[in-house]
Chain A
Amino acid sequence: MFQFKCPHCGLRDANEFTYGGDATIAWPDLGASEQEWFDAVYQRENPRGPHREYWHHAGGCRQWVVVDRDTLTHEIHGCRAASETQK
C-alpha cells in the first residue's frame, strides 16, 4: 500500500486518501474556450513512469495534496499541499 507524507499529518496510509485526478492538468479559467475546457476535461495522458496526481486526505485533515508518483514502480517522490502548488 502507498504511504503519503501529508504536509499536515505526516506519513499516512493511502487508504486515508481519495484519488482526485491528474494534477498535471491545470484548470482553465471559467471563461476559457470550449476547446480548452474539452482538453482539460477529456484529454489525459496515461504515463508509464513519473506522474503527478491529486489526492484528498478525506480521512484526515481534509486537505488536497499533490503527489508525485511513479506509475511503474509505485514510488512516491513528493507530497505537497495543493494550495502551496498554486502560489
Chain B
Amino acid sequence: MSRIDGFGRIDRSKPLSFTFDGKTYQGFEGDTLASALLANGVSLVGRSFKYHRPRGVFSAGPEEPNALVALRSGARREPNTRATMVELYDGLVAESQNRWPSLAFDVQAVNQVFARFLPAGFYYKTFMGPFANTRLWMMFEHVIRRAAGMGSATYETDPDTYARRSVHCDVLVVGGGPSGLSAALAASETGARVILIDEHAEFGGRLRQDRYDIDGMPAADWVAKSLATLASRDTVRLLSRTSAFGYYDNNMIGCVERVTDHLAVPVDHKPRQRWWQIRAAQVVLATGALEQPLVFGNNDRPGVMLAGAVRAYLNQFGVLPGKRAVIFTSGDDAYRTALDLTAAGAQVMAVVDSRDTAQSALTQAVRDAGIEVLTGHAVVDTHGSPTLQRVDVMPLTGGTVREFTCDLLAMSGGWQPSVHLSSQTGAKPVWNAELSCFLPGVPKRPERSAGSAAGHFTLYGCLSEGSVRGLEAAKAAGFSATGTFAIPQVDIERFAPTAPLWEAPDPPPGLFGGHPKKFVDHQDDVAASDIQLAHREGYISVEHLKRYTTLGMGTDQGKTSNLTGLAIMAALRGEPIEKVGTTTFRPPYTPISIGAMGGSERGQQYKPRRRSPMHDWHDARVGEWVPAGLWDRPRHYPATPGESMRDAYIRETRQTRGSVGICDVTTLGKIDLQGPDALDFINRIYANGFSNLPVGKVRYGLMLREDGMVLDDGTVARLGETHYVITTTTANAVPVMAKIEFLLQAVWPELKVKATSVTEQYAAIAVAGPKAREVMQRVVDLDVSNAAFPFMACAPCRTKDGVPGRLFRISFSGELAYEIAVPSDYGQQVWDALMAAGREFDIVPYGLEALGNMRIEKGHVAGSELDGRTTADDLGLGKMLSKKKDFIGKALAFRPGMTGETRKKLVGLVPVDGRSSLPNGSQIVSVDHTDPPVKMLGHVTANGFSPERNIPVALALLEGGLAREGETVLVTHPLKNIAVQARVTGPVFVDPEGKRLHD
C-alpha cells in the first residue's frame, strides 16, 4: 500500500472492496478507480492501441489517455471508461482492455518489434500498392481492425434508465474550481438564477488537489463555505458529476449528469444518467486548464505521470505514486510537485528543467529543500520493465547522460486552457506566445472564459477573474450588484517565465543504433517520428496530419497531445504555431453514452404503438403482431395452436373468397375535408377527376408528387355537397395530412376548405366475400342490396342497436365487400355484432397477410409498389391521369423518361413449376444471361399464394412490363440461394373482369 497518513480527502473509515482483472483490492470512499489502483501498487493498467505497450495511469482527470478499462460486467459492462473518472464503489468490477491473454503478458506486444513496419498511415497504405483490392488485403484489414480495437461493448440490453431535463437560467457557470465558484458567488449575489456545474463528484477543481490557503483557511474549508453560501440561495442550482459536453445554438449547453454511475446499481428508481439541456442567457466558462506532457524517449512507461496528477493523487487521495521521483518540467508549476512529494516523505532525486534559468520564490523553495535542480536539461530516455526504474538525463545541448534511479517521473509541459466549449461556438482559439498556449477567441455568443480557462494561472488570478466575469455575466443578463463583493485573500504568486520544450533531444544512439519512440499521443500510439514522417510525405494541414497519423483521434480527443503535435508540426514547417492553427473542436468534450442521448425515448417511449379499438379482441387470437406505420396490426389468426402463418393466411383467404371474412382496417388514414372549395381542392391534389362524383358515391383516387411520381392512393367519398372523406394508406397518413395542411396554408390559402385528420376517431371494419351482403344486412338498418347500394356507394347508417356510422361499398380484396366506420368507442360492439351475424356463414377474421395476399391476387398496388420511384404508367394506372384538369404532378408526369417502354412496370409472375414461391425482393434476370455481370431486369415487390388458382403468385416491377407477358424469366435471391423460373403474366390473378365487385 502506498497511502500516506495525513494526506487526502478520502474517508478512511469506509473501506471499499473492488476487483481488477479478477484480483480483489481495497480502496476507500472518495477514491477513483485510478487512485485505488495506484494505492494498491497497480501501476500497469492497460496496453496501448497499436503497439500494445504497457501503460499506466497518466493523469487524474477527464484527459486520461491510457487508463481505459471495461467497467462492470454483464449487461452493465461499459468499455473504455477512464479509471481516473470512475468513482470507486464497493464491489466494483473492472477489467483491463486491449491485451491477450493477460495484461502482464500480451502476445501482440510483439508489434513493438515490428513497429518499423507499422508507420503512420499504415492502414491507409494497405489500400494502395500490390495488395490493394485483393483477398489478401481483406485479410489484412480484418487483422488490423481486430488488433487495433478498443474495449468491447456488451451485446445485452442496457437494464438502466436515462432521463432528460431542459432548464433555463440567467448565468450558467461551467466548472466548479476557484474561478467557477467565485463566478457563481458573484453572479448569484445579484439575484440572477445561476447554475454551477462540475464534472467531478466534488466541487473545488485544483483546490482539491493543491495546497493553498484562502482567507486564512485551508482551501477545502473555503470551498465548503462557498458551497454553503451558494446552496443557501434558492436561485442557485449546483450540479456535480455533470459534464458540459457541447455548446449549441441559442446558447444551449448540453450536459450529462452521472446520477448513479458511482453506485453498483442505480437505486430508488433513479436514472443512471441525466441529459441536461441548459439554456442560459449568459455563460461563464471556468473550465480550467489541462496540463500537457513532455515528449521524450520512452515517455509512455508506467510510472511516468503528469506532475499535477501526482499532486492530485497525493493531496486528494492520500496516495504516493512513487517513492523516488524525478521531476521534468518546462515551467514553475511542477516545482510544487517536488515540494509536495518531499512533504509526503518521498525522495525527489532531481528537478530537470528545460529552461535555461528558473528563478522564482517557488523554484528557490525547492532548492532550499536540498533538491537538485538541473536547468537546461531534459529527460531523454526511460528504463524499466514493465514499470519505470531509471531515467536518463542529458543537457539540451548534448553531452554526458546522467542516470537517476526512480519509480516515478512527474512531468509538466505547461498548462493548456480548456478552450473546447468556447471553440465550439466558432470562436477560434488565439495563440499566446508569452504563455505558450491557446487562449479562447473573441466570443461569438454571450459567453466569457474565466480563470485558468482564460490563461490566469495563479490562484489570485482565478479568484479575482472569476468574480469579475461572474458579475459581468449577471449584469449582461440584466441584473445589478447590490452589495460589495470582496475578493478572497490569497498569497500572490510570481512565476518565472515559461519556455516550452516541445520535443526533448534524442539520447545518444544505443548499441544497435536508432532512438527510442517519443510518444505525443499516448492513446493512439502516435510518436514524434510519425509526425516527421507525415511531414516528409507532404502533409501540411493539421487536419490532414490528424487524420493521417490519427493524432488526437482517440476517445480523449487529444487533450494531452494536440498542442504538442501541432507545435512539432510547426517546427518542421519552420512556421510559428499560430500559422499552423488548431484542428476543429467539436462536441462532445468527453465521451457520452448512447443511453444518455436516447434518454427515455426507448422502445415504446421512442415509438408509441397505436392500437385499434378492437385490439384486445385481436390480441386474444392473433398469431403475431406486425407494426404498420405506428400501428400494430394482426398478421394472422391461427385456427389451431400449431397452425403456421402460411397455412393460416391461405385458409383465411380461401374462407373469405369462399364465404365471408372480416378485417380491422382502422389504421387506414382518414381525412375529413369540408368547405365550399373542397371539390376544387380534391381535383387539384388527385390525378384523376372528381367533378362528376355525386353525393353518396366513392371513387378511387391517385395522388402524385410534384415531380410526377406516385405519392399515395386511396378513396374519396362524397358524403355531402361540400363534405368529403378521403383515405390514405396506413404509412402515408401522416405525410399526406401534413401536405394537405401545407397546401391549404402556404400555397392556396384562398381555398375555403377545412381538413381534419379523423383516423383515430373512427373504427373501420371491412366485411368481404360472397356472403358479405347477408352479414352486413343483419347489422345495419340500411338496404344494402345491389340495387339500393351498388358498388362504390356510400351513405350514413345506423346499426340495428343504434350505433351511428358510415357505410361504404368498396373492396380491396376483390370480393363483394363493405366497409363500415363507426365512432371508435363503438368499434368492438359493431365488430361483435358482425361476428355474430356471420357465424352461420363461418365468418373468418383475416389479418394483414391475407389482406395482402388478396390484394396481390387482384393486382392492387400498395406500399411496396408505391416506392417513390414508380409513375402511374408503371403501375398500369396511366389512363387515370386527367386530361381535363390541372393537378399536382401533371406538369412533370409526362416528361419523356416517365413513360418509356424500358421502364420497370407492374406485372404478375407465377413459377413455371407451379410450386416454388417467389420471395419479395428477388431480383429478376434473363434466363439466357446468367454469367456475371448480370443485368437486373426488375424485382419482386410482393408475393403470396392463390388458393383459387392453387399456385404461388407474385407482383413485380419488370423492365418492359406487360410487353414481356408470356416470357420466362429467372427470379433470383442469392442471399437465400434461390433461382426460380417464372412466367410473366398480367397482374390480376383472380376475377380479372371484376364481376364479383359488382354483383
Contact = CB atoms under 8 A, between A and B. Distances in A.
A70 B892 CA distance: 32
Contacts of B131: none
Interface residues of A, number: 35
B707 interface: yes
Interface in B734-754: 738, 741-742, 745-747, 749
A5 to B, nearest CB: 12
Interface in A45-85: 54, 56, 58, 62-64, 66, 74, 81-83, 85
A87 B706 contact: no
Contacts of A58: 738
Interface string A7-34: 0000001000010100100011111111
Contacts of A41: 706-707, 892
Contacts of B746: 23, 27, 54, 64, 66, 82-83, 85-86
Interface residues of B, number: 24
Given A2-B250, A41-B706, A86-B747, A30 B890 contact: yes
B684 interface: yes
B706 A1 contact: no
Contacts of B890: 30
Contact of A30 (B707, B749, B887): B887
Contacts of B738: 18, 20, 56, 58
Interface string B244-266: 00001110100000000000000
Contacts of B887: 30
Interface string B890-930: 11101100000000000000000000000000000000000
Between A23, A27, A32, the greatest number of chain B beta carbons within 10 A of the residue's beta carbon is seen for A27
A87 B750 CA distance: 9
A7 B746 CA distance: 15
B741 A56 contact: yes
Contact of A20 (B248, B249, B742, B891): B742
Given A58-B738, A82-B745, A1 B888 contact: no
B869 to A, nearest CB: 15
A58 B757 CA distance: 13
B277 interface: yes
Nearest to B444: A73
B745 A36 contact: no
B886 interface: yes
B742 A83 contact: no
Contact of A40 (B166, B249, B706): B706
A46 B447 CA distance: 30
Contacts of B707: 41-42
B823 to A, nearest CB: 22
Given A74-B249, A82-B746, A86-B746, A64 B741 contact: yes
Contacts of A66: 746
A2 B249 CA distance: 6
B895 A56 contact: no
Given A34-B891, A34-B895, A81 B249 contact: no
B249 A1 contact: yes
Contacts of B888: 30
Nearest to A87: B749
B892 A81 contact: no
A54 B249 contact: no
Contacts of A62: 741
Interface string B870-899: 000000000000000011101110110000
B181 to A, nearest CB: 29
Given A74-B249, A83-B749, A30 B741 contact: no
Interface string B686-713: 0000000000000000000011000000
Contacts of A32: 891
Contact of B892 (A3, A37, A87): A37
Contacts of B741: 56, 62-64
B53 to A, nearest CB: 43
Contact of A31 (B745, B747, B886): B886
Interface of B: 166, 248-250, 252, 277, 684, 706-707, 738, 741-742, 745-747, 749, 886-888, 890-892, 894-895
30 contacts: A1-B249, A2-B249, A2-B250, A3-B250, A13-B166, A18-B738, A20-B738, A27-B747, A30-B684, A30-B887, A30-B888, A30-B890, A30-B891, A31-B891, A32-B891, A33-B891, A37-B892, A38-B891, A41-B706, A41-B892, A54-B742, A62-B741, A64-B742, A66-B746, A74-B249, A82-B749, A83-B746, A85-B746, A86-B747, A86-B749
Given A27-B746, A34-B895, A56-B742, 12 more contacts: A2-B250, A13-B166, A30-B886, A31-B891, A34-B894, A37-B891, A38-B892, A41-B706, A41-B892, A64-B745, A66-B746, A82-B742
In the A-B complex, list the 4 residue pairs whose CB atoms are closest, starting with the nearest: A30-B886, A82-B746, A37-B891, A83-B749
